[in-house]
Amino acid sequence: MTSEPRLSPRLIVPDPDRASAFYQAALGAEQVFSAPRGDDGRPSVIGLRAGGASFRVSPAVPSWGWRSPDDLGGPAVLLEIEVDDPDAAGERMVAHGAEVVVPIEDRPYGKRSGRVRDPFGHLWIITGEPR
């Protein structure tokens, strides 16, 4: 049996429930599943879908090598999301606790983009068509 590979990034965060709520409010993501809660009361994984993209959030578990950006001193990956209205998406993220790192504006390479850091330390490039 052959199938196309699917990549589902898993973001390591201190609090998966809070992260899921943020991504739902800020990106319009839909929570599609949540694993049973462990002894610490946190789910081991929450699955989310935003448009055609799927991603997951899991708690930091240093003994497994799962470390959040705060544990690492910054993120190891940039997440890029392409949307119809980058300004509105950036404003929603900031309204829910993200901070602007690079303002969203028209870029010389033909895109309108900028960068925000979400409340969990992950960096997002928000991009779309120029104005």
Query: Within 13 Å and on the Cβ side, how many CA atoms surround 83?
Result: 24
Q: Where in the chain is the domain with CATH 3.10.180.10?
A: 74-131
* Polymer length of the chain: 131
Question: 78-124 pLDDT, tens per residue?
Answer: 999 999 999 999 999 999 999 999 999 999 999 999 999 999 999 99
Domain 74-131 sits in CATH 3.10.180.10: yes
Question: Is 121:69 a contact under the CB 8 Å cutoff?
Answer: yes
Query: Within 13 Å and on the Cβ side, how many CA atoms surround 77?
Result: 10
3-class DSSP assignment, residue 104 = strand
Question: Is 32:47 a contact under the CB 8 Å cutoff?
Answer: yes
Question: 78-88 pLDDT, tens per residue?
Answer: 999 999 999 99
Q: Where in the chain is the domain with CATH 3.30.1900.10?
A: 1-62
Task: Indicate the fold that domain 1-62 takes in CATH.
Answer: glyoxalase-related enzyme like fold (3.30.1900)
Question: 45-63 pLDDT, tens per residue?
Answer: 999 999 888 999 999 988 9
